[in-house]
Amino acid sequence: MTNDPGPIIQARLHDGMTLPVVDVTNPVFRIDESATSLDRLRASIVASVNRPADARAATPGTMPNLLQRMFAPQAQYLDGLATYLLKIGADNLPVQFDTEIERRLASSPNAVALRIRLQQLSRLMARALRNAPLSAPLRLLAIGGGTAIEALNALIILKGGSRNTIPNVEVDVLDIEDTGLLLGKAILAALCETKGPLAGIAATMTFVPYSWDQPSSLASALHERMIEGEYILASSEGALFEYGSDRAVIANLSLLREAGAIPIAGSVIRDDATGQAMVARSPFPLKARGLRNLESLASAAGYRISDAIEGVASDQFLLHAD
Distances (CA, A) of 189 to 11, 183, 198: 8, 10, 9
What pLDDT is attached to residue 15? Answer: 75
Check residue 38 and give its pLDDT.
97
| Residues 118, 149: Cα–Cα separation, whole Å | 8
Which residues, including other chains, have CB under 8 Å from residue 109's CB and lie 6 or more apart? 41, 44, 45, 48, 312
Question: CA-CA distance, 40 to 34, in Å (whole number)?
Answer: 10
Q: Which residues of 273-306 are buried (b: 16+ CB within 10 A; e: fewer)?
A: ebbbbbbebbeeebbbbbbebbbebbeebbbebe
User: Which residue in 235, 171, 243 sits closest to 207, CA to CA?
Assistant: 171
β-strand pairing of 314-321 with 264-269: antiparallel
Sign of torsion over alpha carbons 117, 289, 76, 184: positive
| 176: phi then psi, degrees, rounded to nearest 5 | -80, -20
204: three-class secondary structure by DSSP:
strand
User: What is the CA angle 40-317-225, rounded to 5?
Assistant: 135
Q: What pLDDT, on the 0 to 100 scale, is given for residue 58? A: 46
Phi, then psi, of 274 in degrees rounded to 5: -65, -45
Q: From residue 86, give the alpha-carbon distance in Å to each of 67, 136, 233, 257.
A: 11, 34, 25, 33
pLDDT at 63: 45
- Is residue 204 within 8 A of residue 155, CB to CB? The reply is no
pLDDT of the chain along its 322 residues, tens only? 445 566 899 999 877 788 999 999 999 999 999 999 999 999 999 998 876 555 444 444 444 555 555 544 455 667 778 888 889 999 888 887 778 888 888 899 999 999 999 999 999 999 999 989 888 999 999 999 999 999 999 999 999 876 667 889 999 999 998 888 999 999 999 999 988 999 989 999 999 999 999 888 788 778 777 778 899 999 999 999 999 999 999 999 999 999 999 999 999 999 999 999 999 988 888 999 999 999 999 999 999 999 999 999 999 999 999 8
